[in-house]
Structure 1
């Protein structure tokens, strides 16, 4: 994948966009026996639930407390104790991805539980006291309270049942067709299955998995030791069905698309699937005639998820995890569905009735197995276990009559295989893009596509170090270059891409497609570094090769057109940029599935051109198309979503809707904080954009703080004359002007102008912005004669580089009117104000604050005349 930035106006920073390239690579066969992706040692919750214990009299030094904690940790390893009610509720409020069980003393519970029992993250409450009769009175009407207890043993028993029920409900289900999580976990599983156990270093995987769990301090030590010591003494099915942490941890990883967990449990996913696959073949070989199978699954569903099921009736739903079902309807109903309805006010009890055609399972690579005598609970001979990624059609939803509850439902499903879904074409295309390699390298490429650059970097660095063939070294260095670009480490990216290019020049013919790929990605790095002439030269080398060797509608030509469009966009040549972007989109729409990420990239880039040309309605339309695709096919925290949130926010900011802009910018920043290193350029972009909104909302101290954070990042990671640094200086100068610090403002604007003069073509629209800023600094200092020439230069550049009704014209005319007004030339001032108003009324929404400001200026001038 190529990484390329899309420029906004001078008011905001560079966004980052991707354009995918196709490479002709081959399976590497590199042994990774000693290879591991070392994950960050960050404290994390590995299970679906945690336990909170609130009691004002907790004394952690007491033996009774220590013993109680030890008993509880056999069920829930992650336990947090509190003696302060406010601290406890603050902690509970922050929980998003897990369910919380709560032990609370009777006295505190009586006051706090009525305030929090409706919180959806709170699953079950256990009142722990010495006087049961007193506290049963207030507790009896709160469904989430699972008893008033006088000893820890009874709490443990209740907690055991509730945690198992919670685990069963918290699995990865897609209710509205097939989503991105389904596609990416399927691709990851396919890559994991390509890795041989001897290649993976089986015992080493187990040891490192155990060490990873210890580092999180979230799993009972004796359970970790059991897995490490006894893993090979039992089958994968036994471990999956055992009441240990493996079931909960794996399902959490698949439900949240938690790459850390999935990678660390990759060996187990592989072992469990292969075990099911092997036994499926053995069991089916003994069946003369395959009969339709009916199985059942009882569980709880949240009220919100049940609404999704009802809305999807007739459509598809999928289970992304290993799916445990039963032949026994009564067991599924009474042991799992009814308790969920009876004991949790936030849930309904669901009995899934699944019709399975064994022939369809065989053709769709979805094996299942009867685990009689294979599971941990060997006496339960009715369980059927499916491998991951089963897809069903929702046929019927009907209420189950029950004298104890109205929240019990049956949902009839028919197995459809795992190819009958909307994302199938996109998944097939993704597989094609990944077909250049297998195993670990394919896994790294998937991580890049998912936006997990740090993990991909660790993996590809190991692959580079272990590569012996020149072709492999070139390919892995190329991938590393993509990773470093995505991480904002452009010097490293350039070095890696240059190494790949040097190897390819020595080993490939002069017009080989991989040489074009290298030239193109090197050009992207130069674009990110602000060296646009070098970027254009590299892109032209790539395009020359591709035109000689590829058919006119090849995707690699679309990539070249996209990246050349990027350079022209950065140089302010918007008409040329739009032409290249449209050529790229035309090819992509002919070849790619309509939801492919590269089509979203094209929409976003075209939107940016329209935004820079002042056509905000068109820009918003393209941005929203890009965002819609990304929301449907990317993981929820993918950096490209942050890009879309930033660009949509930019349009709302330009249209004067600052509250809506701020909301989008904050969503972008939230993703950056979760996915990117702290000095990534996208952080600077987010801080810059948020600062711009605060500035327009007259919150100048907040704006200055954001701008300074953006500048600090850019000074650390960008070349000293990068245009984004000029953007930061320019915006800081504007805030200084608003704060009355005119000398500082002028100095900042001069630094911005100096950088632009060194790096941008002389008619770039950013010069108009810079000249306007200089003029306003002189105007604020009362030096009107000095201000006028800068404004004249700004208008001259706008006339050469922008459409006639671009808002930047209005800004220049308004500023010119202000200078003439201050000079007492009211006739000229009025003329410029009226021209500014005319453009603003044509290009901006009627409620935009700029229109009101110009009207006020006109009224003031008229009064003085």
Structure 2
């Protein structure tokens, strides 16, 4: 009950007391004691207290090996639990090694078709994905799906879950058409389950698949389609569970996020406010999920430039997370990072740098200097350096951060590409335009292949490449890129989205420079010839005219 209410310290005290009572009553290596220890470790895991979870899980595993043997089901589950804790800390090699051992043991003890074996294989596939080994992950997901189709059937919920995992894996490889096809199939099969007269769990499952499909479309930048599906999911959830229930809150949260990404901030803010109010009412203000909703509201305010309001929300979230979760908790550190970002966007660079540096130091002391959790805050700190004109410091930090991220996740991982894009910005700031252009070209090519032409990240790369070309005086090349990006921005995000407006202004400035160059070269004529980029250039000017009305 304490856990459900978000009273985490009280819940931990009760769990710890239960373990001690079991030890006194039965001894440390008794099955009852080990079960209670496992529940306490699960509590630490759910609260993202990875170090405590890991220490206790190692102890449980060793005790179960001694008492139950290497091949007992509880021992196998302990291996799985420890592997997942390693994964959550970014120790993917350790996790994969344990998972591979686990799969082989489970096959030998339980059989290749046992549900536990299939679950372990699915977890191993997930770990491969975390390392960027998408093809290996895809192969394992297909293996699991084929086995489940033979044993429990195509329409079983567990089969559908594996199909959804395969769709996600395909999407991360840039195989969006295949991913969307599978996701649609999952949705159709889920609807069949409902039509056969299913229970509440099936209602929840169909809604979950609907939300997953929408998120898949969002990852492709298909926000209009995603929004429509998120609205359907919310409407269905209200019909099944009611609006003011914890079961409807995820659909509300997802729709708000989709609206924010499209720049539809008014509705996104309204939904985020409602979501937060409902969570406070249902779960209490200090519940971890309530604080997540509070942080999301801060993000909506931040995105629309309401920086003072966002700062206030981030401050409150950070204070409550420190109180309920502690200074070293992952959620608390995320709040510190978000707060530093809003400081940066207000030009409060000293506060931004101080907050980011404090968060970095806590992460180093808690997880070690080479831990994956340090990389996001280092990336953020480098961006702060760039905004301050400290380009050399930013370049040095990003070079090391990119090297480490590439080792962990590969050179084409989305987060690696974000870091590379920031490095290119640091190079541009030093006037190293050719190097920056080369980096932006490589990033753009990768994003075009993996995400598609219309994805927001691809468009940002297009605009940044145009900026690097413009910095070298290649205004004609830059103009073509700006026009291409502006056209897609208007089609996908709409004329009033901030990214569209920024692109249009850059496009107009690029066109002005091209015309200036043309006017200084007699006999060459205006480079903006009808049938070339003149129509698109007029679109830039016309769109800006609409914005000024």
Q: Contact 1:767 / 1:794 at 8 angstroms: preserved in 2?
A: no
Matched with 1:785 is 476
Q: How far apart in 1 are the matches of 2:157 and 2:215?
A: 21
Summarize the alignment of residues 396-411 of structure 1 with structure 2, pairs less than 5 Å apart: none
Matched with 1:715 is 406
What's the CA shift string for 1:573-622, capped at 9, x where partnerless? 112223334445566676599897x9786566445434432355766774
Other structure's SS at 1:763 match: coil
Q: How far apart in 1 are the matches of 2:378 and 2:174?
A: 20
Q: How far apart in 1 are the matches of 2:16 and 2:77?
A: 11
Q: How far apart in 2 are the matches of 1:184 and 1:579?
A: 42
Question: Cα distance, 1:468 vs. partner?
Answer: 1.3
Question: Cα distance, 1:549 vs. partner?
Answer: 1.5
Counterpart pick for 2:206 among 543, 549, 557: 557
> Which sections of structure 2, spanning at least 5 residues, go unmatched?
35-43, 65-72, 277-288, 294-316, 520-533
Question: Cα distance, 1:776 vs. partner?
Answer: 1.9
Q: How far apart in 1 are the matches of 2:360 and 2:254?
A: 20
Deviates more, 1:754-763 or 1:582-591: 582-591
Question: Cα distance, 1:527 vs. partner?
Answer: 3.6
Matched with 1:179 is 7
Rate the CA distance shift 1:567–1:457 in 2: closer, same or farther, 3 A. same
Matched, 1:764 2:406: no
Question: Cα distance, 1:554 vs. partner?
Answer: 1.9
Matched with 1:567 is 216
Rate the CA distance shift 1:570–1:548 in 2: closer, same or farther, 3 A. same
Matched, 1:468 2:110: yes
Matched, 1:819 2:510: yes
What's the CA shift string for 1:738-786, capped at 9, x where partnerless? 2111111111121122223323333333343233223222221123233
Counterpart pick for 1:523 among 143, 167, 170: 167
Summarize the alignment of residues 8-157 of structure 1 with structure 2, pairs less than 5 Å apart: none
Deviates more, 1:813-822 or 1:598-607: 598-607
Q: How far apart in 2 are the matches of 1:456 and 1:586?
A: 40
Counterpart pick for 1:541 among 185, 199, 217: 185
Rate the CA distance shift 1:468–1:593 in 2: closer, same or farther, 3 A. farther
What's the CA shift string for 1:131-190, capped at 9, x where partnerless? xxxxxxxxxxxxxxxxxxxxxxxxxxxxxxxxxxxxxxxxxxx99975235557867999
Summarize the alignment of residues 2-401 of structure 1 with structure 2, pairs less than 5 Å apart: 179-183=7-11, 258-263=52-57
Q: How far apart in 1 are the matches of 2:384 and 2:261?
A: 17
Q: How far apart in 2 are the matches of 1:477 and 1:575?
A: 35
Other structure's SS at 1:753 match: helix
Matched with 1:288 is none
Q: Contact 1:490 / 1:525 at 8 angstroms: preserved in 2?
A: yes
Matched with 1:803 is 494
Rate the CA distance shift 1:456–1:820 in 2: closer, same or farther, 3 A. closer
Matched with 1:749 is 440
Question: Cα distance, 1:798 vs. partner?
Answer: 1.5
Which protein is bigger by CA-based radius of gyration?
Answer: 1
Matched, 1:441 2:77: yes
Q: Contact 1:810 / 1:837 at 8 angstroms: preserved in 2?
A: no
Rate the CA distance shift 1:772–1:485 in 2: closer, same or farther, 3 A. closer
Q: How far apart in 2 are the matches of 1:479 and 1:496?
A: 10
Other structure's SS at 1:554 match: helix
Matched, 1:579 2:215: no
Q: How far apart in 2 are the matches of 1:667 and 1:580?
A: 41
1 or 2 for the larger relative contact order (CA 8 Å, sep ≥6)?
Answer: 1
Q: How far apart in 1 are the matches of 2:348 and 2:545?
A: 19
Question: Cα distance, 1:515 vs. partner?
Answer: 0.6
Q: How far apart in 2 are the matches of 1:450 and 1:591?
A: 36
Other structure's SS at 2:454 match: coil
Q: How far apart in 2 are the matches of 1:646 and 1:617?
A: 25
Q: Contact 1:193 / 1:439 at 8 angstroms: preserved in 2?
A: no
> Which sections of structure 1, spanning at least 5 residues, go unmatched?
1-173, 207-251, 271-436, 843-865
Matched, 1:503 2:147: yes
Q: Contact 2:398 / 2:419 at 8 angstroms: preserved in 1?
A: yes
Rate the CA distance shift 1:562–1:714 in 2: closer, same or farther, 3 A. farther
Question: Cα distance, 1:263 vs. partner?
Answer: 3.6
Matched with 2:291 is 628
Rate the CA distance shift 1:508–1:652 in 2: closer, same or farther, 3 A. farther
What's the CA shift string for 1:464-507, capped at 9, x where partnerless? 41441432211232344455656776566545544433432332
Q: Contact 2:80 / 2:99 at 8 angstroms: preserved in 1?
A: yes
Q: How far apart in 2 are the matches of 1:188 and 1:599?
A: 33
Question: Cα distance, 1:548 vs. partner?
Answer: 1.5
Matched with 1:62 is none
Q: Contact 2:131 / 2:408 at 8 angstroms: preserved in 1?
A: no
Matched, 1:739 2:388: no
Question: Cα distance, 1:519 vs. partner?
Answer: 1.0
Question: Cα distance, 1:723 vs. partner?
Answer: 5.0
Q: TM-score, normalised by structure 1?
A: 0.42
Q: How far apart in 2 are the matches of 1:744 and 1:545?
A: 50
Q: TM-score, normalised by structure 2?
A: 0.62
Question: Cα distance, 1:797 vs. partner?
Answer: 1.5
Question: 1 or 2, which has the higher helix percentage?
Answer: 2
Question: Cα distance, 1:686 vs. partner?
Answer: 4.3
Q: How far apart in 2 are the matches of 1:788 and 1:447?
A: 51
Matched, 1:609 2:258: yes
Deviates more, 1:598-607 or 1:749-758: 598-607
Q: How far apart in 2 are the matches of 1:677 and 1:510?
A: 47
Rate the CA distance shift 1:460–1:756 in 2: closer, same or farther, 3 A. closer
